[in-house]
Structure 1
Amino acid sequence: EYVISRGCCCCLLPVFTCGGNITGESGVIGSQGYPGVYPPNTKCVWRITVPEGRVVVLSFRFIDLESDNLCRYDYVDVYSGHVSGQRLGRFCGTFKPGALVSTGNKMLLQMVSDANTAGSGFLAVFSAAHPHERGDQYCGGRLDKPSGTFKTPNWPEKDYPAGVTCSWHIVAPKNQIIEVKFEKFDVERDNYCRYDHVSIFNGAEINDAKRIGKYCGDSPPAPVFSEGNQLLIQFLSDLSLTADGFIGHYKFRPKKFPTTTVPPTTTTQPVTTRPIPLKYSVALCQQKCKRRGTLEGNYCSSNFVITGTVITAVMRGGSMYATVSIINVYKEGSLAIQQAGKTMSTKIIILCKKCPFVKRGLNYIFMGQVDEDGRGKIAPHHFVMAFKTKNQKGLNVLKNKQC
């Protein structure tokens, strides 16, 4: 049984059901009822098997699920293997990921929907491909020596191959953290790193809530430090353009090692202020939420001053954890800044989630302190305001100010 595909008068699609076992060299998978609205309160599992000695390459052609920063409500999980496999990613909303590649000849998709918002679901195609090997080793693996190197397949002789996924799981002793530096870096460029990219996660699995950064382009990212004793580095290339690739190095560090190598932007002594502990008292958030002072007055007493766009904002406990895409840096201090090509971003914790209140997608001036992990900390008394182009001139004047 087939239906005519939306937007295509002559394209026939099979009638999609909830899950199933699929074998063969290639095929199409769709959510239940696609392109109609998928049903609520369902859990569908598809198990793909391609011939022995091959790997599965999966590409989403269309995706429209309830959108959420952490994909908590409606989502598609993709796993390498059928049982206890590594999760290659969790997806929702309308953002199409690049190609996903299993390590063996099996892949599992699981779609979950809740009782509320729904969309048209997803349509994906899979095919069998030859695995990319280097000697007798797949790329990726577990790294647990005190220091080491990781690199893309074919480095440095030629470009990395298309359609490959490498995952390096770095594990340090309990009382240590991990520092990662890229020596050379050249990965297909895209403003949002949607196609070929490197993602680095705190912990042992792919989880957007624990992602430190996503990188592409030809500029090596700034050094990365883990929060705990485990990091996962994932490299993914889709089925189109490739590039030179990268070589990176990691080493274990004592936990109390300062987690940034960025020097202060001024030659004078940085202002020392008593840091606010993250386990702050409730009293802090009971203060009246009112911005104090002026741009000029707060500039010198702040560790960092940036303008940027809030791209993610997640509530955890009583705080808001935001990722900010940087427009300009006026005072860097020890703020940890991630770079992917020409795009820079940083992590900011707003200690009291409603004070100051910021919204995703809007531009702000942020002035605040920096914690020992290099993250910006904003308390109710710090200076945050909506950023407009007319503020640029005043900020440029402040940048040249000696504190």
Structure 2
Amino acid sequence: MGRAVMVGREPTGAGGLVLSILIILTAEGCRAQKGDGCGPSVLGPSSGTLSSLGYPGTYPNDTVCEWEISVPRGSRVHFRFAELDFENSNCQVNYLRLYNGIGPGRSEIVKYCGLSTKVKELVESAGHQVTVQFMSGTHRSGRGFYLSYSTTEHTGKAPSGHVQRRSHSGVDYFKLPVSKAPE
């Protein structure tokens, strides 16, 4: 059995720090949520949703959140974005990043920032572990983000009649042209 752990802090009027820890046992896989900018999340073993704190309202200033998603080996994580809306004045501190892997050896898949960013394509991980990082600095506008993820099993082999090619986003498959044999 895996586990999910959420650790966060909530600002208070007195400037104090309230730590909350939530431990949930799940059937398979491990998901963790860390930081003070985490919004409502449903983190399942094969699908889930993530959002910034306050979504669909404006996200708070100076927050950070990381979600670590680990699905069964042999699977990949696919992300679909319902909304990305970050103040674009400083992409160094207002952004959403996706990483292949968890921990210090992770590598960036993509980074998004800016108001009303449209992402129509599905974003796929290269493996079974992904880190989602949300960072906000001082800002006046922006609703933050809402995304969903799902998994697919990756066999490492191209489907029949297709060619496999590695790319910066993982592995792509191309259908071979059909040619008739001379009679």
Normalising by structure 2, what TM-score? 0.62
Amino acid at match of 1:232: T
Shift of 1:240: 3.0
- How far apart in 2 are the matches of 1:177 and 1:273? 19
Q: Secondary structure at the match of 1:154?
A: coil
The counterpart of 1:204, out of the listed 99, 102, 120, is 102
Greater RCO (Cα-Cα under 8 Å, separation 6 or more) = 2
Superposed CA deviations along residues 177-236 of structure 1, whole A, max 9, x for unmatched, are 11011011111225x8212000100011265x6100111122233321111111100000
The counterpart of 1:225, out of the listed 115, 119, 124, is 124
Cα pair distance change 1:257/1:140, threshold 3 Å: farther
Aligned to 1:187: 86
Q: Is the 8 A contact 1:171 1:229 kept in 2?
A: yes
Structure 2 residue runs of 5 or longer lacking an equivalent are 1-14, 20-33, 174-183
Structure 1 residue runs of 5 or longer lacking an equivalent are 1-50, 56-101, 104-130, 133-137, 259-271, 279-334, 336-346, 349-371, 376-403
Shift of 1:374: 3.7
Q: Secondary structure at the match of 1:373?
A: strand
1:224-303 aligned at under 5 Å gives the runs 224-256=123-155
The counterpart of 1:174, out of the listed 61, 64, 73, is 73
Q: Is the 8 A contact 1:177 1:254 kept in 2?
A: yes
Matched, 1:165 2:129: no
Matched, 1:53 2:17: yes
Higher helix share: 1
- How far apart in 2 are the matches of 1:151 and 1:205? 21
Identity of aligned residues (%): 23
Matched, 1:213 2:110: yes
Normalising by structure 1, what TM-score? 0.30
Aligned to 1:373: 171
- How far apart in 2 are the matches of 1:206 and 1:249? 24
Cα RMSD (Å): 3.5
- How far apart in 2 are the matches of 1:177 and 1:139? 24
Superposed CA deviations along residues 142-172 of structure 1, whole A, max 9, x for unmatched, are 934221111111112x101111111111111
Q: Is the 8 A contact 2:84 2:146 kept in 1?
A: yes
Q: Who wins on radius of gyration, i.e. which is larger?
A: 1
Q: Is the 8 A contact 2:79 2:148 kept in 1?
A: yes
Superposed CA deviations along residues 72-114 of structure 1, whole A, max 9, x for unmatched, are xxxxxxxxxxxxxxxxxxxxxxxxxxxxxx84xxxxxxxxxxx
- How far apart in 2 are the matches of 1:211 and 1:52? 34
Cα pair distance change 1:54/1:240, threshold 3 Å: farther
